[in-house]
Amino acid sequence: MRLLRYTIRLCAAMSLLAVVACAPSTAEPVAFPAAKVDLPVVQGERTRTAVFAGGCFWGIEAVFEHLKGVKDASSGYAGGTRETANYELVSSGRTGHAESVRVVYDPTEITYGTLLRIFFSIAHDPTELNRQGPDVGPQYRSVIFANDANEQRVAQAYVEQLDATQIFRRPIVTEIVTAQPFYRAEDYHQDYAARNPNQPYIVFHDAPKVEHLKRQYPDLYRGT
């Protein structure tokens, strides 16, 4: 079953050769605004976590791993139970989980608002409902798992800011929900794009996201 799903993913990805992976429904270059509302920097605090979901976690993880100020990004599952937090079950689309990425970052180097900016402009297309590109199902939905009311306020404010600019031609469908337990995915999913750079799905769907990050935000981009 896993091989079949990968084969379907690869075939679908190869059919998107002419499409910019993760491209929002606007043409490049797009000047995504910096967040007007952001979390304050707390003196002495050097580590925070944020959890995002927006399609296959391989590409989301790869984007955040290339951001200055991000200390770690790991693939996993959020939205369901511990018992169903495995790839085979999550892939059924019936567990409540979304393929997610937990981002550990230094708030003195990169802000939550900047992570949101990258999430919406580079990591995925927030106007696609229950899918991203070739991947279809609720496990690929767009979600921000807010750790507290302040994160929820900042995330909601940024969505409203993007809506006001009409930067997307279609409505943003990203859910903003209270954080739920994050369950780390199987080891073979971690750093998948970095370890499999020639895999067709990565080449055609995820590597362009990292290149887009490098071009659009050179001041934020961190090479390997």
pLDDT of residue 29: 53
Question: Per-residue pLDDT for 162 more than 50?
Answer: yes
Q: pLDDT tens-digit profile of 174-202?
A: 999 999 999 999 999 999 999 999 999 99
pLDDT of residue 224: 72
pLDDT over 70 percentage in the chain: 87
In the residue annotation, 56 being an active-site residue is answered as yes
- Choosing from 35, 53, 56, 63, which is the catalytic residue? 56
Question: Per-residue pLDDT for 168 more than 90?
Answer: yes
pLDDT over 90 percentage in the chain: 83
User: CA angle 184-190-207, nearest 5°?
Assistant: 130
User: CA angle 106-175-8, nearest 5°?
Assistant: 95
Model pTM? 0.89
Q: What is the mean pLDDT of residues 138-157?
A: 98
Amino acid present at 220 = L
Domains of the chain as residue ranges with CATH = 2-6+46-216 (3.30.1060.10)
